[in-house]
Structure 1
Amino acid sequence: MESLVSTEWLAGELGAPDLRVIDATIFLPGAGRNARAEYEAEHIPGAVFLDLDEVVDSANPAPHMLPPEHKFASRMQTLGLGDGNRFVIYDNTPLHSAARAWWMLRIFGAHYVAILDGGLAKWKAEGRPLESGVHHGRHAHFSAYLDAGQVVTKDELLGLIGTDGQSIVDARGAGRFAGEEAEPRPGVVPGHIPGARNLPQSELFNADNSWKRGGALRAAFDAAGVDLAKPMITTCGSGVTAAVLLFGAHLLGKNDVRLYDGSWSEWGADPATPKAVGHE
């Protein structure tokens, strides 16, 4: 299975015994939308709702930090997501949060994980079937083994500031990156990590919400001044849209990319971390 699948492909595969469809929609605080309620109102037939606000390390004050292995396994099993399944993830949010769920499943050991190109918006625009309510999958066994080498910590990133061996790329909008807009979470100052480049994650998508590919996708990284020859670290507000950049790089065949899980919610809340403003 490819990492990015079409709506046509998914329509043909729906109902396959090993296929699991996941709605991983999430919104920024204050967006005025409820991802779970929207899922219950309409979703792709058979899809389960993966709550990215809940599948987290609840002992960490930063939002969306990766949960312990046992918690991730438990949540997957309750949703009926098990070893050997093929997973197709979609969302219905400007944050394109399916990429975060794709990244999480992969680093916890899942082998067959794909994102639905265009998400629910494209599925609906094509008049494809929907259902409402809550889909309950049969309890499954999920073996979670975290590949911690794919995750960047604050301490590691602090040691890389001022060096030239990594590309640090921030997925937030230009206003937040430059420190011109307030952060959506309390206690987090505006700005960005020194030396980071800004590539708003929305730049990786076409008008119909499908992913850019090939030259158009590469051009988005080039326009942001990202050196694709260097290993990359992606960051954002809370580790969600950082996964969009990571997946975009993956579509270009670049896999030496890691994600700073704490992202600006952690970095910007720490008075001791260096911070920059403006556009570099």
Structure 2
Amino acid sequence: MPSHNFRTTADLAAELGDADLGVIDASWHLPAAGRIGASEFQEGHIPGAVFFDIDTIADIERGLPHMLPKPEPLAKAMSELGLGDGMRFVVYDALGLYAAARVWWTLRAYGVEEVRILEGGLPKWIKEGRPLETGAARPRQPRSFTPRLDESFVASLDEVREALATGSAQVVDARPADRFHGVTPEPREGLKSGHMPGSLNLPFVDIVEHGRLKPPDALKAEFAAHGVDLRKPIITSCGSGVTAAILALAVEEAGGKVEGLYDGSWAEWGSRDDCQAVTGPA
């Protein structure tokens, strides 16, 4: 059965140009990658797409990377991109499945039901020889976007602490295993190495294959192999809230329940003196 969270390249190609379709390029890369999503967008993007910059369309007052934007700034940014109420959205990124999941999560947190991720992303689109456009985005007329924040999508630091202390939800970290175990330092300066006491680790690389999410049965097997019980609520976490969104997507696709995404993730936890970090296996 097709997933309600994804759209195929063939379906998107057939709908390009529809006035009620918003195509969003969400490409973002870790600083160490030396790649800039906004620059690559100008070099080639899906026709009619606009660029959603998770670093600037964010709550920058928190002092943490790409935090969920507040309602008014998000509404303004969406309107300026020509994205508004009554539209349906398809989000993609240059890596196949990476930051597109973060924008998918952001829009769903704000009450958007008609938002899908392009299966296989830009790499699949290009491989199939489909058309690209170059230069800056040319947004349509501004449209009104009504933000309706659903707090249940976001897990706060206090909620994460409570889940770890009481076992009310499993906290699952999507960072690579060597970072979770504290074997390698964090890519962001000033952060402790290791993981939250009592958290579990399911690296996002174990749930993504060739730029696409693994099929539901394979996802279920990965959750089981990493000690995650899909029958119990799950809070997802990672380095800065990007791959935690891929993990949230995987939980849904595998039939589990996401209790929230820890938006501060390790960027917050690892920077605080009052948050303990442990090393070694979970």
Provide TM-score, normalisation by structure 2: 0.95
Deviates more, 1:214-223 or 1:101-110: 214-223
2:87 to 82, 85, 88: 85
Q: Secondary structure at the match of 1:141?
A: coil
Q: Give the match's secondary structure for 1:144.
A: coil
Structure 2 alignment gaps of length 5 or more? none
Provide the rounded CA distance (Å) in 1 between the counterparts of 2:209 and 2:98: 13
For the residue of structure 2 that corresponds to 1:39, the secondary structure is helix
| CA-to-aligned-CA distance 1:12-69 (integer Å, 9 cap, x gap) | 1111121110000111122211110001100111110000011111111111111210
Paired position in structure 1 for 2:280: 278
CA shift, 1:175, in A, is 1.1
Provide the aligned length of Structure 1 versus Structure 2: 279
- Name which of structure 1's ranges 37-46 and 1-10 shifts more when overlaid on structure 2: 1-10
Paired letter, 1:220:
E
RMSD: 1.4
Q: Within 5 Å, which residues of 2 pair with 1:1-280?
A: 2-93=4-95, 96-137=98-139, 138-207=141-210, 209-280=211-282
**Cα shift at 1:160:** 2.5
Moved more, 118-127 or 245-254: 245-254
Q: Could you tell me how far apart the structure 2 residues matched to 1:85 and 1:226 are?
A: 36
SS at structure 1 position matched to 2:125: helix
Displaced runs of 4 or more, over 6 A: none
Change (3 A) 1:254 1:160: closer
Tell me if structure 2 keeps the 8 A contact 1:29–1:185. no
Q: Matches of 1:256 and 1:33 in 2, distance apart?
A: 31
- Note if contact 1:80-1:136 (Cα within 8 Å) is conserved in structure 2: no
- Residues 140-166 of structure 1 show CA distances to partners (whole Å, capped at 9, x for unaligned) of 100012111221111221222232221
Which letter does structure 2 place at the counterpart of 1:151?
Answer: V
Deviation at 1:94, TM superposition (A): 7.3
TM-fit CA distance, 1:206? 2.4
Secondary structure, counterpart of 1:187 in structure 2? coil
2:175 & 2:72 partners in 1: Cα distance?
31
In structure 1, give the amino acid aligned to 2:66: H
Aligned AA for 1:229?
R
CA distance in structure 2 between the partners assigned to 1:179 and 1:202 by the alignment: 18
AA aligned to 1:35 is G
CA contact (8 A) 2:237 2:244 kept: yes
